[in-house]
Amino acid sequence: TSLFAAVEMAPRDPILGLNEAFNAEKNPAKVNLGVGVYFGDDGKIPLLAAVKAAEKARLEAQPPRGYQPIEGTPAYNGAVQNLMFGKDSELLAAGRAVTCQCLGGTGALKVGADYLKRLLPDASVYISDPSWENHRALFEGAGFPVKEYAYYDAATRGVNFAGMKAALAAMPAKSIVVLHACCHNPTGADLTVAQWKEVVAAIKERNLVAFIDMAYQGFADGIKEDAAALDLFAASGLQFFVSSSFSKSFSLYGERVGALTIVTDSKDESARVLSQVKRVIRTNYSNPPTHGGAVVAAVLSSPELRQMWEDELGGMRDRIRAMRTSLVANLKAEGAPNFDFINVQRGMFSYTGLTAAQVEKMRADYGIYAVGTGRICVAALNTKNIGYVAKAIAAVLK
């Protein structure tokens, strides 16, 4: 018999599977609110002007395509650190951070998870309830038991902070806590700065290890504002992990640009930690690809391109906000119940409170695709489809 005779079909990825179904949808008015991608008002994934300019310069320079260092280039890693902590950061000056270019935010989480498994083999990982659906699979894949901490409050469509604090207080020492820096995926419900202060204090008190997932820096309030949690962790003196993704903020999804940053206690620790993380990378994919990282480094290190990028990022942020406001107004006009919470939620996503049955009805009756949990991607709304979407939501709620 064949080696593969007994292999079972794995379930489709819930979100990528939705894309396949959407592509096969015959309804000409179809709308895909399932994906985690930013689209412009024209319904297309933008190619940022800053990226285009950096790519043009790179193409003209025709650099050779040698191997990169295992951890990526200092130009990229340094630029990423400055973006996260600010260029005048004491933590950076003290050499307490090591950064490796990784394959998107996912790659950074995976390298971090594999390294943590070597560092803390008996730890458990805690993710928010709910969380980005790949968090669980990724940390389980790295060999950790994965548990959840209370996070979302369906009644307020906000954060159940009392529940979260109680969960943190009950975690065994050295547990790994995965936190979303901003623009929580899938709920859009973020912690306030005051709440972050309490989280940092609880993590310190319980001797926990924070792994901060930063996939949307600049999408909530701004580059600096969205790093508020990182500033608090930096000031705390704690050691922690950060995964960064530039998929959304540079609209470079397929180039797989991200980074893992580990904050240690000293420059000497950083050197030893980096040597170990390099072993994880070397035995996984050896070293990162050149193009995306070079483009991001070029944009971040040129004052002119950096300004252009910040303006374009601001434009994406403003468009998402405008779509939130417009969706709430359109729903009100359609006579739907109160959806004001959509204006409070931040980032690309919103937990709408729609049930799986209502989501299914939107698909069947309107060709509108959303995740069964009721998550919609606000960044997939535009001035042409928003009226239709609001009508559909109001109709399935009747």
**Contacts with ligand PLP, residue ranges (CB under 6 A):** 36, 104-106, 132, 180, 185, 213, 215, 245, 247, 258
Instruction: Using the minimum distance from each CB to ligand PLP, give the nearer residue, 104 or 288.
Output: 104
Tokens 């979302």 correspond to 152
Instruction: Using the minimum distance from each CB to ligand PLP, give the nearer residue, 219 or 366.
Output: 219
* Residue 254 C-beta: closest distance to ligand PLP, Å: 9
Distance from C-alpha of 75 to C-alpha of 296, rounded to nearest angstrom: 10
Q: Active-site residue among 110, 114, 117, 132? A: 132
Q: Active-site residue among 110, 117, 248, 278? A: 248
Question: Do residues 393 and 387 lie in contact, with contact meaning Cβ atoms separated by under 8 Å?
Answer: no
Instruction: Using the minimum distance from each CB to ligand PLP, give the nearer residue, 320 or 396.
Output: 320
Contacts of 321 (CB under 8 A, 6+ apart): none
- Residue 174 token pair: 């050295």
Question: Do residues 236 and 96 lie in contact, with contact meaning Cβ atoms separated by under 8 Å?
Answer: no
Question: Do residues 348 and 378 lie in contact, with contact meaning Cβ atoms separated by under 8 Å?
Answer: yes
* Residue 154 C-beta: closest distance to ligand PLP, Å: 20
Nearest alpha-carbon partner for 115 in 142, 135, 81? 142
248 as an active site residue: the answer is yes
Q: How far is CA 33 from the centre of its chain?
A: 17
391 as an active site residue: the answer is no
Distance from C-alpha of 52 to C-alpha of 58, rounded to nearest angstrom: 10
132 as an active site residue: the answer is yes
* DSSP characters over 290-323: SHHHHHHHHHHHSHHHHHHHHHHHHHHHHHHHHH
Instruction: Using the minimum distance from each CB to ligand PLP, give the nearer residue, 104 or 374.
Output: 104
Instruction: Using the minimum distance from each CB to ligand PLP, give the nearer residue, 34 or 158.
Output: 34
Name the β-bridge partners of 153: 158
Nearest alpha-carbon partner for 182 in 213, 209, 138, 159? 213
Instruction: Using the minimum distance from each CB to ligand PLP, give the nearer residue, 79 or 331.
Output: 79
* Residue 6 C-beta: closest distance to ligand PLP, Å: 32
**Overall size of the chain counted in residues:** 398
Q: Active-site residue among 190, 213, 226, 231? A: 213
Question: Do residues 95 and 118 lie in contact, with contact meaning Cβ atoms separated by under 8 Å?
Answer: no
Distance from C-alpha of 239 to C-alpha of 207, rounded to nearest angstrom: 10
Q: Which residue is nearest to ligand PLP (CB)?
A: 104
- Residue 37 token pair: 């991608």
The 8-class DSSP code of residue 32 comes to E
* Residue 363 C-beta: closest distance to ligand PLP, Å: 21
* Residue 135 C-beta: closest distance to ligand PLP, Å: 7
Q: Count of CB atoms within 10 A of residue 196's CB?
A: 20
Name the β-bridge partners of 260: 100, 243
* Residue 105 C-beta: closest distance to ligand PLP, Å: 3
- Beta strands 97-103 and 349-351: pairing type? unpaired
Instruction: Using the minimum distance from each CB to ligand PLP, give the nearer residue, 255 or 390.
Output: 255
Distance from C-alpha of 189 to C-alpha of 158, rounded to nearest angstrom: 5
Instruction: Using the minimum distance from each CB to ligand PLP, give the nearer residue, 213 or 231.
Output: 213
* Residue 210 C-beta: closest distance to ligand PLP, Å: 15
* Residue 130 C-beta: closest distance to ligand PLP, Å: 11
AA letter at 225: E
Active-site residues, by number, are 132, 213, 248
